Structure 1
């Protein structure tokens, strides 16, 4: 058994293996994941080779993800599969373990994957589930309130609209924890197009685009994949909601759903317009791995120090020890004068006793410090400091960015 980067001559085997494992009719799709991705490097395709045959493979997608408003380097894991004749031997397990070393080598801070099999397989290798919140809404056109908007809706036009839509995405998600940083080239890559990154419609007024909506009609369900608008034009959402509801009425849709926060202003406007109740749903496909925990936390220091300065509060010297995550320890040390350091250990540090699941949700903001139920081992001063660093945020990983 040999675990390594794929060779050019082995890519056809990799594509064939993906077809066998996932969809036999998507040969061109899997080739475009390689040929159509301007960021692709051969080393990103990891393989297990036995007797000159590729028996197991996965793909690493190098991206940047926001934790709060801070960008960190992410290694996305996708396309994990093994030839059916070689399953049960442990090849995929060995490949997953080896890939962590590869992520460290290329400088990734965090690993992210979306599983289509039970999470237990990845739990064995230290991956932690990160549930994403979503919503489901039973649509009834009879209860919909008629609304009006000065914004007009039309179909997205690739040739004229993409640059503006990309700019709107950047503005709308600059502070949005969980989102991917999309370069302009990212929008043009074939893998992005295949996964449906382009909007369905845009909202415009006086020739200016103010927002967009990405959705699909799947049988009796309308799936909302993404919504974006300029921060100073929140009323554009009313026009996008109205368009979606009109489409649902024509197509006799029974349910509207999406994997992003029920508290998102688009969803709240949807609820108000339809006079109905939103049912929260949870998607458990996302899983995380701390590739380089201390480095990951150091990328968050600038934002943390900015939050301290903006709070205009004073705190004493504080040291807190995070839980061990993927066999790594890190301590946050504050000097009392607006400077934070991340160190490996400190004898005077207060230990934060929490699970790895809670650690990740606290870091991204899915739960705030004030929601944590820790015992009295954390003093009021330390608790106030952590509440300021770790506020509650909505976390969104837009569906078209999955791999």
Structure 2
């Protein structure tokens, strides 16, 4: 009978074996996987889990830690990558055992969410991940070439531009839920592992030579241009359109694909030029520790109550949230005071909210309106605490 062992990687030698197995299983070469780890400032050896069959290394799953914006605060997310099993060891349930072990690891280490990208949704649903559909734009590239009335100088990114670009990113994604909080070290790592090719990283200069916008894009199969990351200063919206125009002029692409936060100028530009929405189901999410996440969310919930100017909480209000069959958290709200309290069976709650895992994650990422449950008792409370929010996870941050 086979002996299966699941554990964390112990040293660089075992990590080197991970690169080998990934290069064998996936189309990318070994340096792709090694550089992604070597240049990632957030990586820690303990986030890689391995499966051994009779002492032979057979499968792996890695967690890529990052912080994502949630209004004025940040939540901890584990990006799932390098889910790889050698062909001769498949059909033993190794990958699912590894995913469960990684879930346990993230839960005890303060992660709020996990996200992965896949075309095998049913496989990951079995271990608790939920598909959260998106609606990216897809446009005919030939319809998007337009002359600009502005005077921006478009050029390739240079290393000296990094501080300005990172500041533009932070400013233009400040309210974008799910966008990654990028440190300068992370930016430098992305440049080193070439998240996009250098000739596909463009910047726009204003009249005084200062940077006002940037665009990073990829060209994938069927000559599709994917907008992987695009930011701009509020006074330079046209620069984003000009950058896309420059990219289209340089590439022989047939279509453009973009997932953008709702406030982004390219939404209107693409819509006005015949782009259509498509349904994309490749992103899957999993939530951990309802109470722990609520504790982190308190400052942002207070801000939302203050911003709403409604008088729902003039009297002390007790809210009970139940996710799935058993996970519960209690909120006490009075005026702009918010506390996470221990659940008491004897307490009378003003509102009880029951959501499945997918509904809870949708509520977090996109707001109550995305659930289409306005008939729910207490919907006015949920609209204040979880208003409709701009959402984006830029493709350049994929793992």
Q: Name the TM-score, length of structure 1 as normaliser.
A: 0.88
In structure 2, the CA distance between the partners of 1:139 and 1:28, relative to structure 1 (3 Å rule), is closer
Equivalent positions of 1:180-191 (< 5 A) are: 180-189=180-189
In structure 2, the CA distance between the partners of 1:32 and 1:370, relative to structure 1 (3 Å rule), is closer
In structure 2, the CA distance between the partners of 1:283 and 1:68, relative to structure 1 (3 Å rule), is farther
Equivalent positions of 1:1-400 (< 5 A) are: 1-8=4-11, 9-23=13-27, 26-115=29-118, 117-141=119-143, 145-157=146-158, 159-189=159-189, 193-196=193-196, 200-205=201-206, 206-218=208-220, 219-247=222-250, 251=252, 253-261=253-261, 264-272=264-272, 276-314=273-311, 315=313, 316-325=315-324, 327-334=326-333, 336-346=334-344, 347-349=347-349, 350-365=351-366, 367-369=367-369, 372-375=372-375, 378=377, 382-400=378-396
In structure 2, the CA distance between the partners of 1:325 and 1:189, relative to structure 1 (3 Å rule), is farther
2:69, 2:177 within 8 Å by CA — same for their partners in 1?
yes
CA RMSD of aligned residues (A): 2.5
User: Equivalent residue of 2:327, what SS?
Assistant: coil
Q: CA deviation at 1:286?
A: 1.5
Cα offsets for 1:41-70 (capped at 9, x unmatched): 221111112222211111111110122342
Cα offsets for 1:107-131 (capped at 9, x unmatched): 222222222x421111111111122
Q: Name the TM-score, length of structure 2 as normaliser.
A: 0.89
| Runs of 5+ unmatched residues, structure 2 | none
2:117, 2:283 within 8 Å by CA — same for their partners in 1?
yes
Greater CA deviation, 169-178 or 233-242? 233-242
2:47, 2:62 within 8 Å by CA — same for their partners in 1?
yes
Q: CA deviation at 1:71?
A: 0.4
In structure 2, the CA distance between the partners of 1:324 and 1:399, relative to structure 1 (3 Å rule), is same
In structure 2, the CA distance between the partners of 1:190 and 1:167, relative to structure 1 (3 Å rule), is closer
| Runs of 5+ unmatched residues, structure 1 | none
Separation in structure 2 between the aligned mates of residue 208 and residue 260 of structure 1, nearest angstrom: 24
Q: CA deviation at 1:192?
A: 6.9
Q: CA deviation at 1:368?
A: 3.3
Separation in structure 2 between the aligned mates of residue 42 and residue 137 of structure 1, nearest angstrom: 41
User: Equivalent residue of 1:133, what SS?
Assistant: coil
Separation in structure 2 between the aligned mates of residue 190 and residue 201 of structure 1, nearest angstrom: 15
User: Equivalent residue of 1:300, what SS?
Assistant: helix
1:200, 1:213 within 8 Å by CA — same for their partners in 2?
yes
1:137, 1:255 within 8 Å by CA — same for their partners in 2?
yes
Equivalences, count: 387
2:286, 2:361 within 8 Å by CA — same for their partners in 1?
no
In structure 2, the CA distance between the partners of 1:277 and 1:319, relative to structure 1 (3 Å rule), is farther
Q: CA deviation at 1:35?
A: 2.7
User: Equivalent residue of 1:322, what SS?
Assistant: strand
1:75, 1:112 within 8 Å by CA — same for their partners in 2?
yes
User: Equivalent residue of 2:328, what SS?
Assistant: coil
In structure 2, the CA distance between the partners of 1:386 and 1:351, relative to structure 1 (3 Å rule), is same
Q: CA deviation at 1:326?
A: 8.1
